[in-house]
């Protein structure tokens, strides 16, 4: 896992970045290091780290969410004190809303983030609008422009939900490698269930915490 104070996690709507953020926070917390998750997802009110407060708290991780998260007034109130959070012990994981529109929220915090942050770009080969390396790269550049930050690593989270198998994951490796080559940044991790990790480059075993409403 990255060693910067702030770990910014971004990507296309539905790519699985929130599930990755939850897994990353749990893994950091389980090492004994302090971790705070900031929910900056002002785009998608359905799949958010705000829904996992109890799970995160169970391992000592803290959660900071918008004023109206998990209410019928899901207003994008950016009332975060990142300067104050930066003084906290441990790492800060920021789950950013989908695409360039959501990434604009980072702009106001740029002076705090610069120099002590990494931005990880989560991609899913099987999602609309990022099904090719070219599409994924174009969106990444839009996110970078909107946020003022540069991505430093790719998180290959290519899956088909409940239909995912080992072949699904392995068939995405070439896609991720091509995106890595053209973007000039490494594939930091390939997310997969633990049973698919053996022999997989940069495998990062994850559990599926974020589910669609009809899968609950």
Domain that residue 99 falls in: 6-211
CA distances from 128 to 54, 85, 122, 132, 136 (A): 32, 35, 14, 9, 10
The string of DSSP letters for 18-38 reads: HHHHHHHHHHHHHTT--EEEE
**Distance separating alpha carbons of residues 86 and 84, to the nearest angstrom:** 5
The string of pLDDT tens digits covering residues 150-189 is 999 999 999 998 899 999 999 999 999 999 999 999 999 9
Q: For every residue of 113-135, which 3-state class applies, written as one string?
A: HCCCEEEEEEECCCCCCCCCHHH
Residue (of 109, 115, 190, 191) closest to 147 by Cα position: 109
Any domain includes 24: yes
Any domain includes 150: yes
Q: How many CA atoms lie within 13 A of 147 on its CB side?
A: 31
**CATH code of the domain containing 19:** 3.40.50.300
**Distance separating alpha carbons of residues 39 and 192, to the nearest angstrom:** 23
CA distances from 111 to 91, 120, 125, 210 (A): 17, 18, 33, 31
Any domain includes 129: yes
pLDDT score, position 215 = 47
What is the 8-class DSSP label of residue 71?
A: S
Going by pLDDT thresholds of 50, 70 and 90, the confidence category of residue 34 is very high
Any domain includes 1: no
Asked whether residue 79 carries a pLDDT value surpassing 70, the answer given is no
Any domain includes 216: no
The string of pLDDT tens digits covering residues 91-145 is 999 988 766 667 777 777 888 888 889 999 999 999 988 999 999 999 999 999 9
The pTM is what? 0.89
Query: How many domains would you assign to the chain?
Result: 1
């Amino acid at each position: 896992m990255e060693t910067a104070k702030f770990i910014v996690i971004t990507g296309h709507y539905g790519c699985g970045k929130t599930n990755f953020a939850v897994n990353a926070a749990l893994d950091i917390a389980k090492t004994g290091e302090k971790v705070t998750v900031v929910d900056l997802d002002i785009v998608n009110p359905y799949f958010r780290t705000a829904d996992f407060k109890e799970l995160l708290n169970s391992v000592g991780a803290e959660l900071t969410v918008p004023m109206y998260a998990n209410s019928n007034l899901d207003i994008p109130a950016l009332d975060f004190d990142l300067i104050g959070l930066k003084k906290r012990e441990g790492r800060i994981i920021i789950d950013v809303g989908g695409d360039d529109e959501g990434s604009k929220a980072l702009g106001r915090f740029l002076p705090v983030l610069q120099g002590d942050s990494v931005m990880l770009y989560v991609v899913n080969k099987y999602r609309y609008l990022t099904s090719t390396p070219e599409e994924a790269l174009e969106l990444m550049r839009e996110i970078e422009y909107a946020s003022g930050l540069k991505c430093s690593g790719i998180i290959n989270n290519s899956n088909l939900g409940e239909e995912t198998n080992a072949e699904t994951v392995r068939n995405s490796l070439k896609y991720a490698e091509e995106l890595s080559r053209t973007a000039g940044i490494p594939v930091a991790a390939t997310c997969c269930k633990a049973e698919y990790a053996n022999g997989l480059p940069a495998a990062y075993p994850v559990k599926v915490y974020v589910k669609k409403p009809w899968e609950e």
